[in-house]
Structure 1
Amino acid sequence: MARKWKAKGAEAKALADPMSKIVLQLQSSLIQSEARGILCGCSVLLAAEEEQAHLLGRAYFGNHVINAEKDKQWFQLDMEEAFFLCYSLKCLKIVGEDKRPKDVQELWQYMKSKKAAFPDFYKAYSHLRLKNWVVRPGFKYGADFVAYRHHPNLVHSDYAVLVSSEGDGEANGRLRVWSDIHGTLRLCLGVVKTLLVLSISKNGHDAACPSCLENYTVDERTVSRWVPEQGREDDTSVDVESQVSQ
């Protein structure tokens, strides 16, 4: 499926300003300011100054929260986004609602308590983010995530992503029967996306601590809907009746 750029010149703009460079700039800015996020239910709130708010927007982390403060802007990060900045990029510290800093192990246990499949979802999220894909929630498309090659203002998402956890069946049980597969593929076709299934294998390791992620592996599979009209061979059939009559 061809990548769908949103405007003339968008591809050139993306190539001139790669996502890897933007994320490095964000990482540096957050480290220098000793940025801190605040746990709030199933998300993390981050107060950003003007430069950081600009970089968060360019790297497409979190959702901007409208507020009345003039000197700071607030961003709401999903758990996978916040843990990625904290654990993988090591540029964000996170505190609880009691203002006490939480170490990585405490965060890991907290996020697992809020979302049982968090280890698998985080592995899938970080797998794509470390390849410089922009990863966003996919519930509008019946998926776990959607993946963009660059900023969503420049390009449409390439993939609707389903996370398949080891031992839980195909894509957490959502693709076990033909009707599920057919419906999911029709939905992806309707929104011009390719279905990407990320199968997470724990390889015998439990999810007791985040270091176990190093032993997890990710299998990528794209699934497409077979369209008979597009799969036909050229019409090279032989006229059997005319041959027999001769």
Structure 2
Amino acid sequence: MDTKPLPVHLASPRSWISRLLFHPTRSPCWSGTLIEFGSCVWLRHSSCDIDPFESGLFGKGSLSRAKPTWKSRTIDKGDKNTVFLEHITTERRKLKRSQENPPSSSSSPSVSTTNDDVWSVEEIKDITDSQDYEQVFLDFFEAFFLIYALDSLIIYDPLDKPLSIDTCWTIFSNQTPSFATRYAVYHYYRSLGWSPKQGTKFGVDFVLYRPGRKHHHGDFAVVIVTDHDNENRNMDWKDLHRLNRVCTQVKKTLVLCYVIKPSSQPVDRPQCLESYKVREVIFKRWSPERNREK
């Protein structure tokens, strides 16, 4: 697989003939284990030297905020000038706590604190034998994109049996509400070079990140709107303004992504994606002060 595989456009269903003609020597780079109760796929440690996170922001470290950096932060203790995302978050939280709870000059007895529950780097090395115990997991949208669009992942069930694309589609659809619609949006933005991540924290469906930035910021927040009532949120103008205010506070632009699909078409196979159409509208609050003609 190319280290920069995007953009990738939705193609027609691939038969064994097309695979033979266009991908004669290609083999999946990664393998993972399906974890149904966690709605994710755990990537297995392999000899593949291609980092899925560096190749397109695929996956998340189980002991990190995003990129798996636990070993570099705790055991290797690499270049002291290296700043990790976790360090920035820790310092920001310390500053916030100090502002919310300033030191009190009262005579009340202070509570003594100890660091008995904090391990040193040497203790961590002894316990872990300097091995990297951090796991990388993919959500269902990332996993299906890698197995369906890029053919760079093999997914196994807990009994170590490989799963086909159709089987993965069925399992993911049963575990995730409106999986077909949400994956169509995920695939659409992936094909444009974005990296969609779950946007539950901000009350949206996806947050779009641009691969390649060291300390990247999500520029857009995506809300999916369909022409089917059973998949739609019951949103009115007040709800949209609430979402827009949240997105504005975190410096993101709200995008309404409309998915148009045939109402009579079954969604039990990934081939249904061919008939989906995606349209997007940027939602912003109009301010007369900012838009007044000068």
* TM bin (shorter chain): 0.7 to 0.9
1:51: Cα distance to partner?
Answer: 5.2
Which AA in structure 2 matches 1:89? L
Q: Distance in 2 between matches of 1:167 and 1:117?
A: 11
- 1:38 matched to 2:37? The reply is no
- Secondary structure class of the residue paired with 1:98: coil
2:277 to 196, 213, 217: 217
2:219 and 2:62 map into 1 onto residues whose CA distance is 27
Aligned partner (choices 70, 95, 101) of residue 156 of structure 2: 95
Over residues 198-235 of structure 1, what are the superposed CA-to-partner deviations in whole Å (9 max), with x where a residue is unaligned? 1111134321210110111101111111112123345x
Equivalent positions of 1:78-117 (< 5 A) are 78-117=139-178
Residue pairs, 1:2-151, within 5 angstroms:
22-24=3-5, 32=27, 34-41=29-36, 42-49=39-46, 52=49, 54-66=51-63, 70=131, 74-151=135-212
Q: Any gaps of 5 or more consecutive residues in structure 2?
A: 7-22, 64-69, 71-127
Per the TM alignment, residue 116 of structure 1 is displaced from its structure 2 partner at its CA by 2.2
CA deviations over 1:167-186 (Å, ceiling 9, x no partner): 138x8225x21220110111
Does structure 2 conserve the Cα–Cα contact (< 8 Å) formed by 1:59 and 1:134? yes
Partner of 1:160: 221
- Higher relative CO (CA 8 A, sep ≥ 6), structure 1 or 2? 2
Contact 2:28 2:151 in 1 (8 A): no
Distance in 2, Cα, partners of 1:155 & 1:43: 23
Which residue does the alignment assign to 1:201? 260
Please tell me whether the aligned partners of residues 57 and 211 of structure 2 are also in contact (alpha carbons under 8 angstroms): no
**1:103 CA displacement:** 1.0
The separation in 2 between residues aligned to 1:33 and 1:48, in whole angstroms, is: 14
CA contact (8 A) 1:196 1:220 kept: yes
Query: Is contact 1:161–1:195 with CA below 8 Å preserved after alignment?
Result: yes
Residue 150 of structure 1: CA displacement? 2.7
> Is the 8 Å Cα contact of residues 201 and 216 (structure 1) preserved in structure 2?
yes
Cα 1:54–1:208 change in 2 (3 A) is closer
Q: TM-score, normalised by structure 2?
A: 0.64
The structure-2 alpha-carbon separation of the partners of 1:48 and 1:32, relative to structure 1 and needing over 3 Å to count, comes to: farther
Paired letter, 2:61: H
CA spacing shift, 1:224–1:50, aligned 2, 3 Å: farther
Q: Which moved further from structure 2: 153-162 or 88-97?
A: 153-162
Offset from partner CA, 1:1-53 (integer Å, 9 cap, x none): xxxxxxxxxxxxxxxxxxx963339xx9xx65653211102100111347546
- What's the offset of the Cα at 1:154? 4.4
Distance 1:73 1:22 in 2: 22
- CA-based RMSD of the aligned residues comes to 2.9
Deviation at 1:65, TM superposition (A): 2.6
CA contact (8 A) 1:48 1:72 kept: no
Q: Which whole-Å CA distance do the structure 1 matches of 2:233 and 2:29 have between them?
A: 41
Percent identity, aligned pairs only, is: 30
Matched, 1:188 2:183: no
SS at match of 2:229: coil
Query: Is the CA contact 1:49–1:73 (under 8 Å) kept in the aligned structure 2?
Result: no
